[in-house]
Amino acid sequence: MEQIEYIIYPNGRIEERVTGVAGNRCTELTRSIEQALGHAEHQELTADHYQDTTVSQPLHNITYTSPSQQEY
């Protein structure tokens, strides 16, 4: 089952987890929300990202920092 989970922390950091999707389709599914959230602070692609079959492992985690939390 495809699933996108967002964890929003009190400091404004948002973590995104995609499961149940193999290959680069996970980035296609989340592209519009990622653009709306702004600059990704960190992106971690797992081995499942490079597979062609559906799996139930997280494909990537992305951490965002809200503009008010960023250091300039």
Per the CB < 8 A criterion, the answer to whether 4 and 15 are in contact is no
Rounded to the nearest 5°, which phi and psi values hold at 51? Answer: -90, 160
Domain extents for the chain? 1-50
Q: What is the DSSP letter of 62?
A: E
Top-confidence residue, 63 or 17: 17
Per the CB < 8 A criterion, the answer to whether 30 and 18 are in contact is yes
pLDDT for residue 2: 82
Sign of CA dihedral 53, 57, 60, 62: positive
What is the mean pLDDT of the segment spanning 15-37? Answer: 86
List pLDDT tens digits, range 47-60.
767 776 544 556 56
Cα(54)–Cα(37) distance, rounded to whole angstroms? Answer: 26
Quickly state the pLDDT bin for 9 (edges 50, 70, 90). very high
Top-confidence residue, 69 or 68: 68
